[in-house]
Structure 1
Amino acid sequence: MQKLMLFLLFSLFVSSCKQAEHITPQRINMTESIYSSVIIQPDSLYQVYAIISGILEKTFVEEGQLVTKNQALFKVTNTAPELNVQNAKLALDLATDNYSGGVTVLQSIEDEINAALLNYKNDSINFFRQKNLWDQRIGSKIEYDTKKLNYDLSKNNLTTLQSKLNRTKNELYINVKQAKNNYTTTLVATKDYTIKSSITGKVYAINKSLGELINTATPIATLGSANQFVIEMLVDEVDIVKVIIGQQVIISLDAYKGEVFTAKVTKILPKKDERNQTFMVEALFETPPNVLYPGLSGEANIVIGKRDNVLTIPLAYLLDDNQVKTDAGLVTIKTGMRNMEYIEVLSGITEKTLLYKTEE
């Protein structure tokens, strides 16, 4: 009798446990969102470069300092030797002399033209004299053809030399302009060069120390907005089509544990990052934290849908994306919105349907 009672109690316990395993669909206010990692960066962030190579002679700012647009940041002294300037000046003088005719470049061509012109006039006189005689049937055909050939050759030679003179003048003029530009560049490059800020903002990093060699390919510093920060999010390519400008973003930052911030999507960069198959999406805080630094990280949920009184089930009870286990066995359902915990049920079951978890 005692064993029978223990068996009945055990059966009731097992039965109650099994009953506790089932649930029914519930109606909730549901939000569908896309998850993304977050990096905080200052707005208008840019790297400062020098347009000349040289030595960093002076630094007018410090890291963390606020600056205004066109404020002096750094002074660079160019290290180009004075020999470059001297060579550029010699090249300019030579090009100017060649163009002005002070040397033999143009003069020699002009001398050739004068000689060719005299030859042309002489051959012209001989040809037309012979032509008049030939028109009167005086003289031989060979004499006429010879005079005509000499005339044509003289005429062509004169035209060729005149074209050569014009072409040489143009080339020498271009040489003068190029030499002048090169000379001006070398003069500027030997002077001190002051780099100024392009924005009103803050100096976030200085990469060079006084006395270091500066080149045009390496950034000297990093500047950005002092109080306007951009939320950068990497969104997977399967979700990017659901993101539009103006959507709300829920932000949590590692530096502000337990706090939640809201933002709005402001920009979707159309180029995909082939390395991680993601797109860059930017957002701006609606009410930013009091203190922000470049590189702060966190998580974001971009809200892509929100509805009230939605029939849902936990994702743990969903099988193969569209089936649930009921008293009647596996039932196919039509689903809608989903988030990290729940999925919307559009049809297939009701609020009274008992649902069971499948065994792992």
Structure 2
Amino acid sequence: MSFIKKLIKSLPKNLKSKRTIFAILIILFGFYFLSRGSAELKKIETVKVLRADIRQEVLASGKISADKESTIHSAVSGKVVWVGVKSGEYVARGKAIATLDRERYEIALRQAQQDVIAADAELAKVYDDITRTSGVETFDNRIKRTAAEAKKNKAFDLVKLAERNLKDTTIVSPIAGTVVELSVNAGDEILPTAEIAVVSQTGNIKFVAEVDEVDVVKVKKGQQALLTLDAYEGRTFDSKVSEIGQKSITTSTGATAYEVNIILSEQQNLLLGMNGEASILISALSDVLIVPTEAVVDDKFVYVKAQDLFEKKQIEPGIASDQDVEVKSGILQGDEVVVSGFDEIGRLSLLQKILKKLR
């Protein structure tokens, strides 16, 4: 309003009539209305295209695991009467870890053995009956013999099962290694398939990374990786991809991933279960044109500043890091590309639209 008052005061006396002032106000308000909606250039942020080094990496979380590990389960149920190892103790292959109460399995074995004796006697009687009848086997005798033989075979199989159950009351380690987890105590009642212990070969450990299904296709055996562990803040470990899992897993967040095994060049003072993150190097280039990732629109376009105008240009993108994208062609070093304020590009006021149509 002060601007309008100053403008009216500056008018010559012969132009200070009400009609003239009203016409001037109409023109000013019309110009203001028609000029609204144009781009606010100060909201458009740009950066210069630079030459720099770029690394394409795949990041994945994981933890330290043993190269070979065995989770030991009980094959039979019963009461634990003895536990012969402690967590952290080394065990040889075949060493007894725990035993269950054997009494009922010994009884079952003796009963099965007696059933074999009885079935054998019954079969011998059938053979004797056949011999007494001139040695010619009738159809009825064949049925009796076949049933007696089947009964003996079944009884024999039950003996083998009872022997196996009795043997399984002694739980042994199938591999040599360190007991990293012990799940039972003497006096516990356990069911078949109950977990007894976990034995790991801690002499050769690895980092198992869970790589997202989108990224795993980029990972190859032998690629370099850099590990960071939560337990060693600020320290990194050089490593290398040794194996890529062929079967998918579901992560704790519900995503589909693949386990990638990474060999550790340094294993001293590293413990099983330590959590961390692997940065797997996919490719690296030196002294190439790069732009920030936020500058790239629809995967292959950028907006280049030319004075107060912005030109949309197509580029040929190369490798990408989390922050930057390599540009193979389409723009030059020193060009200014838009990184924010894209909504302001191309906005025209009503007056600008009218003038554009009149050209």
Residue 32 (1) aligns with residue 56 (2): yes
| 2:284 alignment partner AA | K
Q: Could you say which residue in structure 1 is the equivalent of 2:70?
A: 46
- Correspondent of 1:287 among 247, 256, 266: 266
Residue 172 (1) aligns with residue 148 (2): yes
Mapped to 2, the partners of 1:233 and 1:206 lie a distance apart of: 25
Residue 355 (1) aligns with residue 331 (2): no
Alpha-carbon distance change, 186 to 58 in structure 1, aligned in 2, over 3 angstroms: same
Mapped to 2, the partners of 1:83 and 1:204 lie a distance apart of: 35
Cα deviation code 1:238-295 (max 9, x no counterpart): 122111211111111111111111221122121223542211211111223x322332
Contact 1:233 1:282 in 2 (8 A): yes
Cα deviation code 1:206-255 (max 9, x no counterpart): 11111112333111011102232221111111122111211111111111
Question: TM-score, normalized by length of structure 2?
Answer: 0.73
Alpha-carbon distance change, 322 to 166 in structure 1, aligned in 2, over 3 angstroms: same
Alpha-carbon distance change, 199 to 191 in structure 1, aligned in 2, over 3 angstroms: closer
Residue 337 (1) aligns with residue 319 (2): yes
Per the TM alignment, residue 318 of structure 1 is displaced from its structure 2 partner at its CA by 2.2
Residue 255 (1) aligns with residue 237 (2): no
Alpha-carbon distance change, 342 to 96 in structure 1, aligned in 2, over 3 angstroms: same
Per the TM alignment, residue 108 of structure 1 is displaced from its structure 2 partner at its CA by 4.7
1:314-325 residue pairs with structure 2 within 5 A? 314-325=292-303
Secondary structure, aligned partner of 2:208: strand
Contact 1:264 1:283 in 2 (8 A): yes
Q: Could you say which residue in structure 1 is the equivalent of 2:119?
A: 95
Mapped to 2, the partners of 1:272 and 1:192 lie a distance apart of: 34
Per the TM alignment, residue 316 of structure 1 is displaced from its structure 2 partner at its CA by 2.8
Aligned length: 294
Q: Could you say which residue in structure 2 is the equivalent of 1:326?
A: 304
Cα deviation code 1:275-333 (max 9, x no counterpart): 42211211111223x32233221211211112222221121322232222212422121
1:72-83 residue pairs with structure 2 within 5 A? 72-80=96-104
- Correspondent of 1:61 among 85, 102, 124: 85
- Correspondent of 2:199 among 214, 220, 223: 223
| 2:255 alignment partner AA | N
1:255-274 residue pairs with structure 2 within 5 A? 255-273=231-249
Per the TM alignment, residue 54 of structure 1 is displaced from its structure 2 partner at its CA by 2.5
Q: Could you say which residue in structure 1 is the equivalent of 2:277?
A: 299
Alpha-carbon distance change, 169 to 71 in structure 1, aligned in 2, over 3 angstroms: same
Alpha-carbon distance change, 333 to 97 in structure 1, aligned in 2, over 3 angstroms: same
Cα deviation code 1:187-224 (max 9, x no counterpart): 56457943332223211111111111233311101110
Contact 1:77 1:190 in 2 (8 A): no
Contact 2:70 2:200 in 1 (8 A): yes
Alpha-carbon distance change, 315 to 215 in structure 1, aligned in 2, over 3 angstroms: same
Mapped to 1, the partners of 2:321 and 2:62 lie a distance apart of: 19
Mapped to 2, the partners of 1:79 and 1:321 lie a distance apart of: 72
Per the TM alignment, residue 79 of structure 1 is displaced from its structure 2 partner at its CA by 4.8
Contact 1:77 1:191 in 2 (8 A): no
| 1:204 alignment partner AA | V
- Correspondent of 2:286 among 308, 312, 324: 308
Residue 276 (1) aligns with residue 255 (2): yes
Structure 1 or 2: more helix by fraction: 1
Q: Could you say which residue in structure 1 is the equivalent of 2:14?
A: none
Question: TM-score, normalized by length of structure 1?
Answer: 0.72
Identity of aligned pairs, percent?
25
Alpha-carbon distance change, 321 to 189 in structure 1, aligned in 2, over 3 angstroms: closer
* CA-atom RMSD in angstroms: 2.8
Contact 1:110 1:165 in 2 (8 A): no
| 2:197 alignment partner AA | A
Q: Could you say which residue in structure 2 is the equivalent of 1:245?
A: 221
Mapped to 2, the partners of 1:59 and 1:190 lie a distance apart of: 17
| 2:174 alignment partner AA | S
Q: Could you say which residue in structure 1 is the equivalent of 2:9?
A: none
Alpha-carbon distance change, 23 to 188 in structure 1, aligned in 2, over 3 angstroms: closer
Alpha-carbon distance change, 296 to 94 in structure 1, aligned in 2, over 3 angstroms: same
Secondary structure, aligned partner of 1:350: coil
Contact 1:66 1:226 in 2 (8 A): no
Secondary structure, aligned partner of 2:273: coil
Q: Which runs of 5+ in 1 are unaligned?
A: 1-16, 118-157
Contact 2:80 2:100 in 1 (8 A): yes
Mapped to 2, the partners of 1:83 and 1:71 lie a distance apart of: 26
Alpha-carbon distance change, 65 to 85 in structure 1, aligned in 2, over 3 angstroms: closer
Q: If you compute each CA radius of gyration, which structure gives the higher value, 1 or 2?
A: 1
Q: Which runs of 5+ in 2 are unaligned?
A: 1-40, 343-359
Mapped to 1, the partners of 2:323 and 2:258 lie a distance apart of: 25
Secondary structure, aligned partner of 1:220: strand
Secondary structure, aligned partner of 1:80: helix
| 2:100 alignment partner AA | V
Residue 204 (1) aligns with residue 162 (2): no
